[in-house]
Structure 1
Amino acid sequence: MAKVLIVDDAAFMRMMIKDILEKNGFEVVGEANNGIKAVEIFKKEKPDVVTMDITMPDMDGIEAVKQIKAFDPAAKVIMCSAMGQQSMVMDAIRAGARDFIVKPFQADRVLEAINKVLG
């Protein structure tokens, strides 16, 4: 069972992703509402994959990806972005993210992205 860390500053978004993942056999090992917590939890739990929001307080998703990749170059991170954040998505991919999903989340797309990066 793959372990997932969910990072989003909106509790509702975390709940939506968690629901999709748990219904499909994934184990959610942590949730974070900013990049600082995301890096801390990643180091402790070493999840198989991370879903990372881009825009968050304290530390954004792009900086968090950089720090996670510095800690573990093999880390698998999928960015979550709202429409119209294409330039930020490109920054995230350059920082080491493997894929991205667009809000509002569609279950099949979330699962497709996760299975792709785990595959």
Structure 2
Amino acid sequence: MSNKILVVDDAAFMRLMLKNMLTKNGYEIVGEAENGQEAIEKYRALTPDLVTMDITMPVMEGVEAVRQIKSFDPDAKIIMCSAMGQQTMVVESLQAGARDFIVKPFQEERVLEAIRKVSGK
């Protein structure tokens, strides 16, 4: 089972919501990042099994972070997190290599379903 997850979102509240949802369902949060640049650095350092990646962030957007992570790890499993109305960016993210997406506000069952699907478990 893909247990080690890196949670990337510029909003601390969103990271906390996801972390609580995932840890109570048996997943381990190995790290957090507030922007795409930090996500890339943490990904290299922590080698998580899976990443939840916000789309809109300061410093570096999620789509670019996905491209860069996939450039050095083509097997990276990334799930995008988007607000309503970001369909164009979701499509870009999937083209960049993200495996799935979840929409905010997060619904626990949908989050878990995406993680199971992407991790193949």
TM-score by length of 1: 0.99
Equivalent-residue separation in structure 2 for 1:66 and 1:43 (angstroms): 14
Q: CA deviation at 1:30?
A: 0.4
Counterpart code for 1:18: K
1:69 matched to 2:67? The reply is no
> Which ranges in structure 2 are unaligned for 5 or more consecutive residues?
none
Match of 2:113 in 1: 112
The percent of aligned pairs where both chains have the same amino acid is 68
Where do 1:1-119 residues align within 5 Å? 2-119=3-120
Moved segments of 4+, more than 3 Å: none
Equivalent-residue separation in structure 2 for 1:111 and 1:44 (angstroms): 25
Q: CA deviation at 1:99?
A: 0.1
Equivalent-residue separation in structure 2 for 1:72 and 1:89 (angstroms): 20
> Which ranges in structure 1 are unaligned for 5 or more consecutive residues?
none
Counterpart code for 1:107: E
* 1:18-70 C-alpha deviation (Å, 9 max, x unpaired): 00000000000000000000000000111010000000000000000001101
- How many residues align? The count is 119
User: Pairwise CA RMSD of aligned residues?
Assistant: 0.6
